[in-house]
Amino acid sequence: MLGFLSARQAGLEDPRRFRRAESTRRVLGLELNKDRDVERIHSSGVNTLDIEPVERRYMLSGGSDGVIVLYDLENSSRQPYYTCKAVCSVGRNHPDVHKYSVETVQWYPHDTGMFTSSSFDKTLKVWDTNTLQTADVFNFEETVYSHHMSPVATKHCLVAVGTRGPKVQLCDLKSGSCSHILQGHKQEILAVSWSPRYDHILATASADSRVKLWDVRRASGCLITLDQNNGEKSQAAESANTAHNGKVNGLCFTSDGLHLLTVGTDNRMRLWNSSSGENTLVNYGKVCNNSKKGLKFTVSCGCSSEFVFVPYGSTIAVYTVYSGEQITMLKGHYKSVDCCVFQSNFQELYSGSRDCNILAWVPSLYEPLPEEDETKTKSRLNPAFEDAWSSSDEEG
């Protein structure tokens, strides 16, 4: 490490490399934090989590009980043992509470003063954070599975909504009405996600085994239907133009927007080039996925090698995005995990499960005991950690 710092001071190293190396080290050391609890409010499973992108301090959760909770993740007590307290909640006695399960919550990307939620009660609600009252309500004819606002849009305020019907609906927060309908899927829309790179590119996943990329500026809409076989005619006709051999119930762009990850009930995860639509054929092995609705997984940001965190039964599997290597399995929940969210400022992970708990996963701090020699200490560390922190003279 000293060699690296010397090289950086001399201008021989990219200053960002140190940050990426440290971020990677911290992700590789994620473990269940025994010193931090997240206050348990939900009386049934936690379906969705979202951390606001402005301060990355406040987190929303939505549960099968219809309740929405807002947490403060900051340790204001400065004590080693603390609980992330609920600042406020939309409980069962709230006049605007969702009648049924909340499937998605999301902060407004540019301001913590507003957030959105969607539910099996066929509504999308826009909330004023300060008053905890609804500012607007969009009603649909079908159950709502997923919604998403673009994290980078400045010219539009469209919310993409996936429902039990085959049509993707775009709701305009400015006008308070449904402004676009995207047609092309044949079954329910289980997941939607805007590109973090282009504000007009939208990805949708359906129970019809297909994933589509849309340009919402175009009248025809659909740009690409992802094909797991990359157009090879030798493959079976029934799998043509399908992304998975089962329902596709999860979508996530990489942080740079250049690639798209999808998961399906065929127990596979696939990585796609989001520009060409090409299946990169990265092999992640079996990725257990028994969810009958949307599965919310997440990716890291700012690491030397990016990682993806995927709910896998009662655990969370961690893979390197571009090689497909499984790094670890995070074990702590005792029922199925349905969602997780990454906090990029401190490389922390939060997960929600059907056991009603939200768990915090934080980087471990290795402190060798006095009797341990250096060789034993190194053997406990992930090889990628050792590489990132090499202090040899050659590095400088």
Q: How many helices (H) and strands (E) does the chain have?
A: 4, 29
The SS3 of residue 24 is: helix
Residue in this structure with the two tokens 């700012």, named with its chain if needed: 302
Tokens of 367: 């402190």
Contacting residues for 22 by C-beta, under 8 A, at least 6 apart: 388
> Which tens digits make up the pLDDT trace of 54-104?
999 999 999 999 999 999 999 888 888 889 999 999 999 999 999 999 999
Average pLDDT, integer, range 356-370? 78
AA identity, residue 82: Y
**What confidence category does residue 372 fall into, taking pLDDT thresholds of 50, 70 and 90?**
very low
pLDDT value for 346: 92
Nearest Cα to 320, choosing from 304, 336, 331?
304
Asked if pLDDT for residue 375 goes beyond 50, the answer is no
CA distance linking residue 193 with residue 341, whole number of Å: 15
Tokens of 138: 């969009």
pLDDT value for 204: 98
> Which tens digits make up the pLDDT trace of 10-30?
666 677 788 888 899 999 999
CA distance linking residue 199 with residue 344, whole number of Å: 21
The SS3 of residue 216 is: coil
Asked if pLDDT for residue 391 goes beyond 90, the answer is no
Asked if pLDDT for residue 112 goes beyond 50, the answer is yes
CA distance linking residue 87 with residue 130, whole number of Å: 11
CB 318 within 8 A of CB 326: yes
> Which tens digits make up the pLDDT trace of 206-226?
999 999 999 998 877 799 999
Q: Does domain 15-363 have CATH number 2.130.10.10?
A: yes
CA distance linking residue 138 with residue 176, whole number of Å: 8
Query: What crossing angle do the helices spanning 2-9 and 15-28 adopt, rounded to 10°?
Result: 150
Name the more confident of 378 and 158: 158
Nearest Cα to 295, choosing from 352, 357, 213, 226?
352
Tokens of 111: 């301001």
Residue in this structure with the two tokens 């009930």, named with its chain if needed: 265
Find the DSSP H helices in 10-50: 15-28
**What confidence category does residue 387 fall into, taking pLDDT thresholds of 50, 70 and 90?**
very low
> Which tens digits make up the pLDDT trace of 272-313?
999 999 999 999 999 999 888 899 999 999 898 899 999 999
pLDDT value for 241: 87
CB 121 within 8 A of CB 129: no
